[in-house]
């Protein structure tokens, strides 16, 4: 990973942690609806979206993806594809679209294909770190993909990828945000460790 990619990666992870802290999320699975409610971001179905009648800025192409985010008159909304039946996939999509919104991707600037690719990657890092915060999982010392999938309510595939990340990542000494995150999840880490080990 290049230095600049590393920096963007870290920024997306920090924003995911900051989101958990600011919305007072104290346990997994992360309550995405609480975050959306606090951020005043409504969640709709694809079928209710009428692009022609709305002058808005979009992120992620309509109907080609699991969901997309919209900005209209300074307000945001997320639209989900009802054809996606897996709840875990829906959760990832919501977190991914929330990432686009919070990372400021719905600005007026036009993007080149390269930048779009980079933003997709950032939104994925955000979603993965929001739904399954590596730092908390490391602290819980849970490395089994099945348990991770159950604890975080993510797909088994995502949990398996997470296990690989956890294996290669070292647990850093806690600094500012990590301290806050650990404080907030303290009770949850304790009880979950007891139940899953």
Binding site for Zn ion (CB under 5 A): 60, 120, 123
Nearer Cβ to Zn ion (13/60)? 60
Q: Could you tell me which residues come within 8 angstroms of residue 181 by beta carbon, excluding any fewer than 6 positions away?
A: 17, 20, 21, 133, 135, 136
> Cβ of residue 84: shortest distance to Zn ion, in angstroms?
14
Of 120 and 178, nearer to Zn ion (C-beta) is 120
CB of 68 to Zn ion, least distance (A): 8
In DSSP terms, which residues pair with 77 in a beta bridge? 70
Interatomic CA distance for residues 126 and 130, integer angstroms: 6
Cβ closest to Zn ion, residue 19 vs residue 163: 19
d(CA 159, CA 147): 8
* C-beta of 31 vs 120, nearer to Zn ion: 120
Q: How far is the CB of 161 from Zn ion (least distance, A)?
A: 17
Which one, of 35, 14, 27, lies nearest residue 129 by Cα?
Answer: 14
Q: Which two tokens stand for residue 83?
A: 């054809």
Cβ 60 to Zn ion shortest distance, Å = 4
Q: Which is nearer to Zn ion, 69 or 137 (CB)?
A: 69
- What the block records as the tokens of 126 is 């955000």
Helices (H) and strands (E) in the chain — how many of each?
A: 8, 4
State in angstroms the smallest separation of the CB of 116 from Zn ion.
9
Structure tokens at 153: 């309510």
């Amino acid at each position: 990973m290049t230095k600049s990619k590393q920096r963007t990666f870290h920024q997306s992870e920090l924003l995911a942690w900051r989101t958990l802290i600011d919305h007072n999320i104290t346990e997994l699975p992360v309550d995405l609806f609480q975050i959306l409610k606090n951020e005043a971001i409504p969640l709709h179905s694809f079928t209710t979206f009428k692009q022609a009648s709305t002058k808005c800025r979009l992120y992620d192409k309509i109907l080609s993806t699991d969901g997309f985010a919209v900005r209209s008159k300074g307000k945001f909304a997320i639209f989900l594809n009802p054809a996606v039946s897996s709840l875990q996939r829906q959760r990832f999509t919501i977190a991914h679209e929330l990432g686009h919104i919070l990372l400021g991707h719905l600005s007026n600037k036009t993007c080149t294909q390269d930048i779009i690719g980079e933003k997709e990657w950032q939104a994925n890092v955000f979603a993965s770190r929001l739904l399954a915060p590596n730092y908390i999982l490391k602290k819980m010392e849970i490395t089994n993909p099945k348990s991770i999938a159950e604890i975080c309510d993510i797909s088994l595939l995502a949990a398996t990828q997470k296990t690989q990340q956890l294996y290669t990542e070292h647990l850093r000494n806690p600094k500012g945000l990590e301290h806050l995150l650990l404080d907030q999840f303290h009770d949850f880490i304790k009880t979950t460790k007891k139940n899953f080990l």
